[in-house]
């Protein structure tokens, strides 16, 4: 609850990492702060031997939106009918807290455990994700401090704790498109081709296109338009340009260059009356974690400690796993139910949160004693 009470809208940490560091230092962890620009990063490690099991997560949250839409203040954690309410309750301060508590319990009973335990916490996951986990991983790789296993506490579950475990993610590619025409009088459309009328069929073609059928590990690639803007505000003026923001969530059947090529081929059919410019921003490539002892253990523990048989998945948005798994780290995302993430009245079920804590603790026991 102390974490939720800290206002930590990305990239602000709000002092959350100091709370975590204090708890972990008392459990024998070496604490290392790794700030980068305006981002707070925390690396805590207990032990120096292999294997290294890392808990990863973030303390930043998304903006709260209209305060009038919250039943209780978003940064005043509130318990009602077995649920904990507040911004970050599900994404993902509760799972960070569960990781810390599970580790404290484990270390108190097994102070001489084998291997090492670490925490990689950032305040940049909900933001650009440039100076957070990516920065820390770069520093760890530079000094040859290599992770073996990683649990990311992202809210992976769909209905009950552990029903879904993410073992990879699709890639994300953003496009910012501007198509330019000319303004004119709506009464004389024959004199001024309308850029909106020309752009809409093109956008419809991209939106309805079947990019691929996916594969055994990944769902199909999707194209989604997120913003469209055009017009002067006047009813009698043909607009001079249209701007469009869109996103691809793509699997391993595609590459960013493949997707860019198709979009630009369509744009080149606009005709001489129109010009376009487009800026691309790649948020991450698709990744799929390797599978070994760690992943086998995680799935077995979840099945034993919860009332579900977990399903491996690569769906959903991006996560910081894209900066960890590609380095050969066995990586899973295992956290709370995601039904209320980024929404008003975000919440987590306290009974399920205790189950999650127990799952984290059992994973430590299976692997490090």
Catalytic residue ranges: 60, 125
> Could you give the C-alpha distances from 293 to 106, 298, 330, in angstroms and in order?
20, 9, 9
Name which of 211, 234, 236 is nearest 223 in CA terms: 211
Give CA angle at 59 (171, 139), nearest 5°: 65
CA gyration radius, the chain? 23
Give the separation between CA 330 and CA 291, rounded to whole angstroms: 6
* Share of the chain residues as helix, strand and coil, in percent rounded to the nearest 5: 30, 25, 45
Phi, psi dihedrals of residue 73, rounded to the nearest 5°? -55, 130
Name which of 255, 269, 352 is nearest 306 in CA terms: 352
Name which of 52, 368, 302 is nearest 166 in CA terms: 302
Q: 17-41 in b/e burial notation, b at 16+ Cβ within 10 A?
A: bebbbebbeebebebeebebeebbb
**For residues 239 and 200, is the Cβ–Cβ distance under 8 A?**
no
Give the separation between CA 123 and CA 91, rounded to whole angstroms: 12
Cα dihedral 290, 293, 297, 300 sign: positive
Q: 59-86 in b/e burial notation, b at 16+ Cβ within 10 A?
A: bbbbebeeeeebeeebbebbeeeebbbb
Beta bridge pairs of residue 55? 119, 151
Compute the CA torsion angle 342, 343, 347, 349 (nearest 10 deg): -90
Give the separation between CA 73 and CA 86, rounded to whole angstroms: 7
**For residues 243 and 177, is the Cβ–Cβ distance under 8 A?**
yes
């Amino acid at each position: 609850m102390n974490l939720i009470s800290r206002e930590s809208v990305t990239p602000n940490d709000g002092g959350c990492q100091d709370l975590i560091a204090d708890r972990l230092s008392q459990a024998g962890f070496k604490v290392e702060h790794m700030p980068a620009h305006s981002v707070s990063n925390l690396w805590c490690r207990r032990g120096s031997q292999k294997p290294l099991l890392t808990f990863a997560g973030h303390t930043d949250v998304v903006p709260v939106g209209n305060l009038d839409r919250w039943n209780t203040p978003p940064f005043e954690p509130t318990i009602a009918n077995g649920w904990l309410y507040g911004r970050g309750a599900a994404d993902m301060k509760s799972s960070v807290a569960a990781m810390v508590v599970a580790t404290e319990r484990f270390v108190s009973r097994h102070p001489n455990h084998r291997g090492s335990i670490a925490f990689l916490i950032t305040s940049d996951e909900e933001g650009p994700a440039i100076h957070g986990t990516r920065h820390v991983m770069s520093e760890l790789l530079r000094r040859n401090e290599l992770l073996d296993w990683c649990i990311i506490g992202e809210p992976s579950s769909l209905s009950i704790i552990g029903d879904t475990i993410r073992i990879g993610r699709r890639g994300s590619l953003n496009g910012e498109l501007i198509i330019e025409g000319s303004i004119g009088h709506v009464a004389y459309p024959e004199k001024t081709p309308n850029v909106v009328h020309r752009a809409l069929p093109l956008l419809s073609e991209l939106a309805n296109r079947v990019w691929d059928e996916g594969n055994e590990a990944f769902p199909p690639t999707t194209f989604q338009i997120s913003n469209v803007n055009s017009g002067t505000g006047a009813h009698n003026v043909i607009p001079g340009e249209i701007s469009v923001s869109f996103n691809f969530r793509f699997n391993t059947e595609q590459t960013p260059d493949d997707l860019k090529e198709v979009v630009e081929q369509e744009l080149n059919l606009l005709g001489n009356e129109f010009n376009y410019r487009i800026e691309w921003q790649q948020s991450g490539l698709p990744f799929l974690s390797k599978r070994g002892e760690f992943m086998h253990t995680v799935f077995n523990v979840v099945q034993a400690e919860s009332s579900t048989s977990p399903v491996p998945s690569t769906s959903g948005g991006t996560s910081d796993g894209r900066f960890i798994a590609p380095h050969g780290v066995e990586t899973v995302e295992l956290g709370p139910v995601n039904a209320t993430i980024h929404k008003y009245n975000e919440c987590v079920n306290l009974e399920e949160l205790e189950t999650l804590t127990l799952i984290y603790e059992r994973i430590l026991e299976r692997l490090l004693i």
